Amino acid sequence: MTYKYQEIWNTIKRDLKADVVVGPELAPTLIQGVKRTKCAENATRSMMGQIPYSKLKIRQETLSQTTGAIKVSFELIYDNRI
């Protein structure tokens, strides 16, 4: 499953945002996986002397009460001083 988190993180870096629709039981796992991937990459960037990625804004929206589908929206917010 790690490769999926990396794939989502790569999309966020490229497009500065990504939307993923998952079931209610997978939303916390998805969020944690993407945050860990970002954290690991930021640690590597810091070791290489590069500026780490800024804040990751995460929103959850329930799409359907019957199925419980949740849309998780990730948005990368850059610091203007960078």
Residue pLDDT, tens place only, 34-47: 999 999 999 999 89
pTM: 0.85
Distance CA 19, CA 80 (A): 24
Summarised one tens digit per residue, pLDDT across range 27-79 is 999 999 999 999 999 999 989 998 888 899 999 999 988 888 999 999 998 75
Q: Which of 41, 69, 71 is nearest to 59 (CA)?
A: 71
Domains annotated on the chain, with CATH: 2-76 (3.30.110)
Give me the sign of the Cα torsion angle 15, 17, 18, 19.
negative
Q: What is the mean pLDDT of residues 1-19?
A: 88
Q: Give the whole-angstrom CA distance, residue 32 versus residue 13.
A: 17
- The Cα 60–Cα 74 span in angstroms is 9
